[in-house]
Structure 1
Amino acid sequence: MVVRRSWVEQIMGLPVSVLARGEQAGSVRADAAVRAVFAELVEVDRVFSPYKSDSAVSRLARGELGWGDVDPVVRVVAERCVRAGELTGGLFDAELPGGGWDPSGLVKGWAVERAGERLREVPELDWCLNAGGDVLVVSPSDRSFTVGIQDPRDPELVVASLALTGGAVATSGTAARGAHLYDPRTGGPVETRWLSVSVSGPSLECADVLATAAFVAGEEWPGVLAALPGYEGLGILADGNLFATAGWPSRGAAAG
């Protein structure tokens, strides 16, 4: 019998879960690694949340901190946001139209991927780390995990699924947080007939950035994924129709 164990915590205002599989899943070492993952994500939320008044992001916005005063990890993320903007031709932009800085479109994927290194240290452990629908999978056994893509019209439904033995999936859209994304080209809210865009690929940080940029791009979103090799996408229209790029490894989505 394959040992399975799961953990879940509410972090960053969303459920973060770990599903582990294999002989090590029930071990003290695996439990300690998961607790370290959760602790690291709590710390990232403390530093980067735009909703916490004492976070570095909020204090930068109020002018209480300058860039020379922040923790080095904040500058690391800022540099990664600049590179993400260059990669996406400006479709990803952490600088807000009215002033201020919000790296949310990058920081969750970056943080989950970084925290996942704790789980990689547990030998022969298969695991799936899910942070509010952004998912990272590692499976040394080569047995797949099934990752579902949520229907943005009904959170109780799944419209497509992927069988992954490794890699990441990130989704951007309006289902979870409403119309919270803006278009750097206009400075206004994103206007699109797409409800969500999901991106699969090797890195969760890159998938997160590309999903955000693709959703902003609207009709041209499949072209955004060409910025990096190995990334594929699934878009969901307001009428429920799906469009997948040719390499999207999904069951239940029509390939475009």
Structure 2
Amino acid sequence: MVPRRSWVEQIMGLPISVLARGDGAGSGPADAAVRAVFAELIEADRMFSPYKAGSAVSRLATGELNWDQVDPVVREVAERCVVARESTDGLFDADVPGGTWDPSGLVKGWAVERAGERLREVVDVDWCLNAGGDVLVVCPSGEPFTVGIQDPRDPGRVVASVSRTGGAVATSGTAARGAHLYDPRSGQPVVSRWLSVSVTGPSLEYADVLATAAFVAGDDWPTMLLPGYEGLGVLADGNLFTTAGWGRL
């Protein structure tokens, strides 16, 4: 049996789990890489959480900081949010009702993908990094991981799965956190007959952004996906709809 090892930490208000598979899964370098991943995610949460009074996001909201005073990485994320808004025709927008800035819809995927580069340094290990249902896969062996898509009506079940040797899977919806997503076109919470939309593709940052924009788009969600990305939507009655390329994954 191929050696495996797993780690779990609570970061960003959600469980972050890492699964290692391969001869080096139990090695010191593998453990050090995972600890570095967790450290980077803790730092990203410290800087970007809208729930922490000392974060850059909170201090910008209160006027304690202005954009000339923030760390360059905050400006980088702000620029990425602008690109994401433009590439989704405004359905992803970090400028939220009330005039504040909340990049949470991009930061998790961006931070996990960036931290995941630490895992690539351990070349004899396959990795599956799961951040509250958003998944990054790195498989130098070429053997895929199977990623399950949670049933939004029953967290203990999966409605579908997708095999990945690399890249990402991200899901957006209201099952876990209620109506926390808003439609930038109206400024109102999203009301949809879709319970969730999952997106898979090469980048977790963009899979996460596209899943959010797709969920906001409602019945037009497949039109939000960029080339190289495929999606699966779950309707309130349990029926599934997939884009053409999903079944080939």
TM-score relative to the length of structure 2:
0.98
The alpha-carbon distance between structure 1 residues 198 and 204, as it changes in their structure 2 partners (threshold 3 A), is same
Report what 1:167 is aligned to.
167
2:155 and 2:104 map into 1 onto residues whose CA distance is 22
1:244 alignment partner, one of 239, 242, 245: 242
2:248 and 2:177 map into 1 onto residues whose CA distance is 25
Aligned residue for 1:218, secondary structure, equals helix
Report what 2:63 is aligned to.
63
Provide, for residues 85-137 of structure 1, a one-character-per-residue CA deviation record: whole Å limited to 9, x for no partner.
00001111000121100001111000000000000011121000000000000
Check the 8 A contact 1:151/1:157 in 2, yes or no.
yes
Aligned residue for 1:24, secondary structure, equals coil
Are 1:96 and 2:93 an aligned pair?
no
1:168 and 1:16 map into 2 onto residues whose CA distance is 15
Which letter maps to 1:59? R
Q: How many residues of Structure 1 are paired with residues of Structure 2 in the alignment?
A: 249
Q: 4+ runs of 1 displaced by more than 2 Å?
A: none
2:154 and 2:99 map into 1 onto residues whose CA distance is 34
Aligned residue for 2:101, secondary structure, equals coil
Structure 2: runs of 5 or more not aligned: none
Are 1:158 and 2:158 an aligned pair?
yes
1:85-234 equivalences in 2 (<5 Å): 85-225=85-225, 228-234=226-232
Structure 1: runs of 5 or more not aligned: 252-256
The alpha-carbon distance between structure 1 residues 148 and 250, as it changes in their structure 2 partners (threshold 3 A), is farther
Report what 1:254 is aligned to.
none
TM-score relative to the length of structure 1:
0.95
1:67 and 1:50 map into 2 onto residues whose CA distance is 16
2:178 and 2:75 map into 1 onto residues whose CA distance is 28
* Aligned-residue CA RMSD (Å): 1.0
Check the 8 A contact 1:128/1:138 in 2, yes or no.
yes
1:121 and 1:238 map into 2 onto residues whose CA distance is 42
Which letter maps to 2:229? Y
1:181 and 1:157 map into 2 onto residues whose CA distance is 23
Aligned residue for 2:198, secondary structure, equals strand
Provide, for residues 213-233 of structure 1, a one-character-per-residue CA deviation record: whole Å limited to 9, x for no partner.
0001011000111xx211000
Which letter maps to 1:187? G
Identity %: 80
Provide, for residues 18-66 of structure 1, a one-character-per-residue CA deviation record: whole Å limited to 9, x for no partner.
0001111110000000000000000000111111111111111111110
Check the 8 A contact 1:163/1:250 in 2, yes or no.
no
Shift of 1:250: 7.3
1:30 and 1:250 map into 2 onto residues whose CA distance is 31
